[in-house]
């Protein structure tokens, strides 16, 4: 079982690292160390997508981000990501997102981007073990007044429970929305920001305090006051240490003595969690105020 999961993860990693190239089943077969037929079967079994569908959706989502963030021509995006023709790219973009790329480039709207997750993470979640605590880097930052466009859950108190209630695909939608912090955020909301029968754990996007744009259906817009945050950042981690990296940071937060530095936990502001990215380490932000 583990050999199969590792093989699929190798194929996912290869696709991510070579997404601008023409990736064939033969390429994936060499990486997985299984036959092309069996590689295709394994990939579909563990990701719920054929390799071709997975690659297509990932290319389209990356092209959408380039159109949103870069002043580039559509033909250049098509060429860079290896689409076979302009017509084929535009038809595929429309089928995936419901709008054509030229319209989207002029007026970027929230889209349900394809954000794939490594299959190895599910196995890690089931079997993770305690690790020796590594270095945790701490810094003080200040967040200004801002609004956050959030999608609420029902009872979720952490990521996995939220995914079960809302769906992990929400992260792709959030990633498509420009954020003043450069990426989506996960929040543990104070009680005053929670609606009846909704979760304390939510995901969303920070936007300027003067934001008056359209709010997607099913989302709420809340305003947060300015606040100081202690940022706890762990060391870069390997995929197999994903859960342990989160656990290390959260254990350090529990043990950290705020009062020694004249601070206390600010219960009027949300705790913030960023996406665990192995190259930068796991990050949580704790709202604080002077005692």
Render pLDDT for 151-204 as a digit per residue (tens, 0 to 9): 999 999 999 899 999 988 899 999 999 999 999 999 999 999 999 999 999 999
**Structure confidence at residue 104 as a pLDDT band (50, 70, 90):** very high
Residues 282 and 151 in one domain: yes
Residues 53 and 183 in one domain: no
100-123: average pLDDT: 85
Tell me the CATH number at 148.
Answer: 3.20.80.10
Tell me the CATH number at 43.
Answer: 1.10.10.60
Number of folded domains in the chain?
2
Q: Which residues of 207-224 are buried (b: 16+ CB within 10 A; e: fewer)?
A: beeebeeeeeeebeebeb
pLDDT tens, position by position, 18-55: 998 889 999 999 999 999 999 999 999 999 999 999 99
Instruction: Look up the domain containing 140 and give its range.
Output: 136-290
**pLDDT of 128 higher than 50:** no
Residue at a domain's end among 88, 106, 124: 106
Q: What is the pLDDT of residue 84?
A: 76
In a domain, 129, yes or no: no
- What is the three-class DSSP state of 191? helix
**pLDDT of 146 higher than 80:** yes
pLDDT tens, position by position, 216-257: 999 999 999 999 999 999 999 887 788 888 999 999 999 999
Residues 90 and 166 in one domain: no
**Structure confidence at residue 274 as a pLDDT band (50, 70, 90):** very high
Q: What is the pLDDT of residue 134?
A: 67
Tell if the pTM clears 0.85, that is, is over it.
Answer: no
Residue at a domain's end among 106, 128, 145: 106
Q: Residue 283: phi, psi to the nearest 5? A: -130, 130
Sign for the CA dihedral angle at 41, 47, 48, 52 comes to negative
Residues 231 and 270 in one domain: yes
Q: What is the pLDDT of residue 166?
A: 93
**Structure confidence at residue 149 as a pLDDT band (50, 70, 90):** very high
């Amino acid at each position: 079982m583990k050999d199969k999961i590792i093989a699929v993860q190798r194929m996912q990693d290869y696709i991510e690292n070579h997404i601008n190239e023409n990736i064939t089943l033969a390429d994936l077969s060499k990486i997985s160390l299984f036959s092309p037929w069996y590689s295709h079967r394994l990939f579909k079994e563990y990701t719920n997508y054929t390799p071709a569908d997975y690659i297509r959706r990932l290319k389209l989502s990356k092209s959408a981000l380039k159109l949103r963030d870069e002043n580039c021509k559509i033909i250049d995006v098509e060429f860079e990501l290896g689409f076979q023709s302009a017509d084929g790219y535009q038809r595929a973009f429309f089928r995936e997102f419901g709008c054509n790329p030229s319209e989207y480039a002029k007026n970027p709207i929230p889209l349900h981007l394809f954000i794939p997750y490594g299959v190895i993470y599910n196995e890690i979640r089931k079997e993770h073990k305690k690790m020796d605590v590594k270095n945790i880097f701490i810094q003080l930052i200040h967040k200004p007044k801002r609004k956050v466009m959030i999608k609420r859950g029902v009872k979720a108190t952490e990521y996995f429970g939220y995914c079960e209630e809302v769906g992990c695909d929400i992260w792709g939608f959030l990633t498509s929305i420009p954020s003043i912090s450069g990426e989506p955020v996960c929040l543990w909301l104070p009680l005053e920001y929670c609606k009846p029968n909704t979760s304390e754990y939510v995901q969303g996007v920070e936007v300027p305090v003067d934001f008056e744009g359209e709010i997607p259906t099913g989302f709420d817009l809340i305003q947060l006051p300015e606040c100081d945050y202690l940022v706890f950042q762990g060391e870069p981690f390997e995929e197999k240490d994903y859960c342990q990296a989160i656990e290390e940071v959260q254990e350090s937060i529990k043990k950290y003595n705020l009062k020694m530095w004249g601070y206390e936990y600010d219960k009027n502001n949300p705790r913030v969690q960023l996406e665990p990215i192995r190259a930068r380490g796991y990050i949580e932000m704790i709202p604080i105020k002077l005692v």
